[in-house]
Structure 1
Amino acid sequence: MSSSRDLLHKLVGFDTTSRESNLQLIDFVRDYLAGFGVASELVYNEERSKANLFASIGPQGLAGIVLSGHTDVVPVDGQPWTTPPFELTERDGKLFGRGTADMKGYIACVLALVPALIQAPLRIPVHIALSYDEEVGCLGVRSLLKVLELRPVKPMLCIIGEPTQLKPVLGHKGKLAMRCDVQGEACHSAYAPYGVNAIEHAAALIGELGRIGHQLQQTQDPRFDPPFSTVQTGVITGGKALNIVPADCRFDFEIRALPSLDPSEVASQLKAYAEQQVLPRMQAVSAQSAIRFTELSAYPGLVTDERSQAAELVAAFSGSREFGTVAFGTEGGLFDAVGIPTVVCGPGSMDQGHKPDEFVSVAQLAGCDAMLLRMLHSIRT
C-alpha cells in the first residue's frame, strides 16, 4: 500500500499544466485503481488528449460521496523556483512541487485511502472524480457532469479538495470572463475626426464597466471578501502608431459575482450601453464600425446552507465547524447545479498555490488522511 506522500511524489512528477495532456496521470490512476479491482470510467475531450476519470467503490444504486479533484496545474514559466517544480522535495516539514497544494495533495490522500475502502464493508459508495482544465475555466468537468446528471441516483455529497487548510468552505463567487473587440476606422492623426478611434470608444466601454462595478457595491454579503460583486478590466491592446487613428482595440474583463447575482446581467448591461450609446456614435462616422463580445470562460458560484446534511457531514469529517468562503473559484457550483450538494475542503492553503515553490505541509497531508479515515469510519456498515 502506498502512502499519500508516495502517491504525491508520483502525481507531481506528471507535468499536467493545462496546456498539456493529463493522460499519463489519468492512466497511472486508472492502473492504480485496477490493481485493487476498481474499474474506471474515462470521459475524454473531443481530441482525446485529455480525460476525466470516475470510479466507484462500494454498493451500487445508492447515493454516495464523491471525492473530487482537478488534475491540471498552472504554468511554472518565469517563476523563480528553488526546487524542481515537477519533483517532490521535502524540506522543513513541507512538500514542495507544482500542484502539491492545488490540488494533487488531496488527490494523493484520496488514492491512499483506496485499500481501506476496498476492505471496509461500506453502507454507501465512495466515488473518485478527477477532472481536467479546471485552471482555465472549469472546462473539463462539465462533460463528466453531463454523464452523472443522467444517472438515476445522484451522490448525496461532493467534497472538492481545493486547499482550505481542511476547513469546510460553503461558498465562493461565480465568474464570467469576456472579451470585447472594438472595430473603428483608421486615418492619419492629423484628420482624427474623420476616423473612428477604437481605443477611445473602448475607453468609454471600460468607463461604463467601472460605473456598473460601483453600483454592484451597493449589494453586499458579509460572508465574502470583498463582500460585493466586482468587475475589472485586465488586458487591453490596440493601436499601431501615435500618428494613426487606431482602427482596432481589444480588452478582456471579468465579473466575480456573489451567488445571488447572475454575472450575465452585467454583460447584458454593457452590451446595451454599447449598442445604444457607443456604436451609434461610431457608425455615424463609419458604417463599418462594430463592437463584438465573446465569452472566454464562466462558472457559477457556490453557496451551501450550513444547516444542510452536506455541511454537517463535512464538519464531522474535518472536525471543524468553522465554515467559510473563499475568493477563488472551484468546480463546486457546477456539481451543485446538477443536484450534487458540495463542500470544498482540502489540505494546504491557496496562499501557496500558483506561486513558485508551491508546497503543502506534511501536517496538512496527514490531517487530510485523518479526515478521510473519519469519513470512512462513518459510512462503514
Structure 2
Amino acid sequence: MSERVESILATLLAFDTTSRESNLALIDYLDSYLQDLGISTRRFYDAEGKKANLYAHSGPARSGGVMLSGHTDVVPVDGQQWTVAPFQLTHKNGRYYGRGSADMKGFIACVLASMPEFLARPLNQPLHLAFSYDEEVGCLGVRSLVDHLKTSAFKPSLCIIGEPTEMRPVYGHKGKLAMRCDIHGHACHSAYAPQGVNAIEYAARVISKLGALGERLAETQDPRFDPPYSTLQVGVINGGTALNIVPEHCQFDFEIRHLPDVELDTTLAELTQYVDHELLSAMRTKAAHSDIRFRQLSQYPGLLTDPQSEFAGWLAQWSENDAFSTVAFGTEGGLFDQAGVATLICGPGSMEQGHKADEYVSAEQIQRCMAMLNKLAQWMAG
C-alpha cells in the first residue's frame, strides 16, 4: 500500500498546480485514474475553461454518505530557498518532500490509493470525492461544485476535508473577508499641496478607522480559537509617484478573519458611513471627481461543527483521535456546511510545513491517513 501511495504522490507533485497556473493536467490524471476504477466523474470548469473541479461518485445512487474533499492548487515557490526540487518527490528520512506534499496532495494521494479498498467491498452508503481549484486564493474555485451540491438529488451528508491537521480532528475555523480599497484624489505640485487631494493621507484615515473597527471586533471573544477574537489587518498598500507630487491614487488591501458566529454587516456599514459622510464630502470640496471605492477580493464563511455530534464520534474512531480542536487557517468547509453537508477536517501533515521551502509530509502521517480511510471503508460497507 505504501508503494502505491508513494507512486501516486510522486505523480501529483510533478504537476505544477500553483494557483496562477491551470490544473487541468492534474485533473485529467485524477479523472482517468477514477474512471479506470469504474467511478463516475464530472467536471466543473472556470469561466475560461483553464481550470476545473472534479466531482466523483461511487456506491448507491442516492443521497447521503461521505464526501472526501481536497484542493488541487498549491502556493508559489517564488523566492523560497529549496534544497530539493519543489515539483518532484524526494523521499528521505521518513519524509516526502515537494510543494503540496502537506497542503494537500498527500491527502489526495491517500484517497486515490485507498479507492481499491473501498471498491473491494460493496458500499452501503455513497462515497463522494471532491477535488477543487483556487482554494489558496480565497476558496474561489469550489463555488460551482458547491452550487451543484445544493441542488443535487445525491448530496452527501458528511464531508471530511483532508487539510493538514496531523490527523487531529478539527471542527472549526474562522471565516475570512478580503477587500481592496481604491482612493482617487487630485494631484498637484507639492509646493501647492493644500490645493490637491492627497490620496495617501485619506487612505491613512480609512486605515485608522479600520484599526478602531478591529479593536471593537476583538471585544467579542471565543476561547476555542487562537487568537480568541476576530482580527483585522492591512496587508498591502501602494500609492504616489514622486515626493514633490501630491498623490492622486492609493490602493490598499485588508482582511478580516472573523469568528464563525460574527456577522460583519454592522462593521462594513460603519466603515461605509464614515467614508461617505466624513471623507468624501471633504475630498469633493476640492475635487469633485474624488472617490473612495471598496471591492471584495474573496470571502469564505467560518466553520463550527458540533464536536459532540454523531459524525464527530465516528471521525474520532476512524482517526483514533478524539482530541478535537480548531485551526487558524481557513478551508472550504464553511461553504460545504452552508450547502447542508456536515463537515470536519482531518488530514496528514502539518501546516507548520505547508507553504514553506522544503515542504514535506511524513511517512508516518501518510500511514495514519491510510488507516483512517481503511476504517471509513469498513464503516461504509457495514
Is TM-score (shorter-chain normalized) higher than 0.5? yes
Structure 1 segments, 4+ long, off by >2 Å, are: 262-269
* Aligned counterpart, 1:24: 25
SS in structure 2 opposite 1:15?
coil
Deviates more, 1:355-364 or 1:59-68: 59-68
Residue identity (%): 57
Q: Do 2:74 and 2:100's aligned partners in 1 also have CA atoms closer than 8 Å?
A: yes
SS in structure 2 opposite 1:294?
strand
* Aligned counterpart, 1:47: 48
TM-score of the pair, normalised by structure 2 = 0.98
SS in structure 1 opposite 2:306?
coil
Q: Do 1:176 and 1:264's aligned partners in 2 also have CA atoms closer than 8 Å?
A: no
CA distance in 1, matches of 2:364, 2:113: 16
CA distance in 2, matches of 1:331, 1:131: 9
CA distance in 1, matches of 2:324, 2:12: 29
RMSD value, Cα: 1.1
Q: Do 1:199 and 1:246's aligned partners in 2 also have CA atoms closer than 8 Å?
A: yes
Determine whether 1:252 maps to 2:253: yes
* Aligned counterpart, 1:182: 183
Cα deviation, 1:174-228, whole Å, max 9, x if unaligned, reads 0000000111111111111111111111100000000111111110000101000
SS in structure 2 opposite 1:37?
coil
CA distance in 1, matches of 2:284, 2:257: 32
Pairing 1:120-131 to 2, within 5 Å after superposition: 120-131=121-132
CA distance in 2, matches of 1:264, 1:177: 14
Q: CA deviation at 1:286?
A: 1.3
Cα deviation, 1:210-265, whole Å, max 9, x if unaligned, reads 01111111100001010000100011111111111111111110000100112344
What amino acid is aligned across from residue 7 of structure 2 in structure 1?
D
* Aligned counterpart, 1:108: 109
CA distance in 1, matches of 2:193, 2:63: 69
CA distance in 2, matches of 1:58, 1:196: 64
Q: Do 2:61 and 2:154's aligned partners in 1 also have CA atoms closer than 8 Å?
A: no
Cα deviation, 1:88-136, whole Å, max 9, x if unaligned, reads 0011111100000000000000001111111111110111110011011
Q: Which runs of 5+ in 2 are unaligned?
A: none
CA distance in 1, matches of 2:35, 2:192: 72
Deviates more, 1:112-121 or 1:266-275: 266-275
Q: What is the aligned length?
A: 381
* Aligned counterpart, 1:287: 288
TM-score of the pair, normalised by structure 1 = 0.98
Q: Which runs of 5+ in 1 are unaligned?
A: none
* Aligned counterpart, 1:349: 350
Q: CA deviation at 1:268?
A: 2.6
SS in structure 2 opposite 1:235?
strand
Q: Do 1:18 and 1:136's aligned partners in 2 also have CA atoms closer than 8 Å?
A: yes
CA distance in 2, matches of 1:32, 1:148: 23
Q: Do 2:158 and 2:341's aligned partners in 1 also have CA atoms closer than 8 Å?
A: yes
What amino acid is aligned across from residue 127 of structure 1 in structure 2?
H
Pairing 1:1-381 to 2, within 5 Å after superposition: 3-381=4-382
CA distance in 1, matches of 2:238, 2:338: 36
Deviates more, 1:154-163 or 1:1-10: 1-10
Q: Do 1:156 and 1:340's aligned partners in 2 also have CA atoms closer than 8 Å?
A: yes
CA distance in 1, matches of 2:312, 2:273: 40
CA distance in 1, matches of 2:80, 2:267: 34
What amino acid is aligned across from residue 163 of structure 1 in structure 2?
P
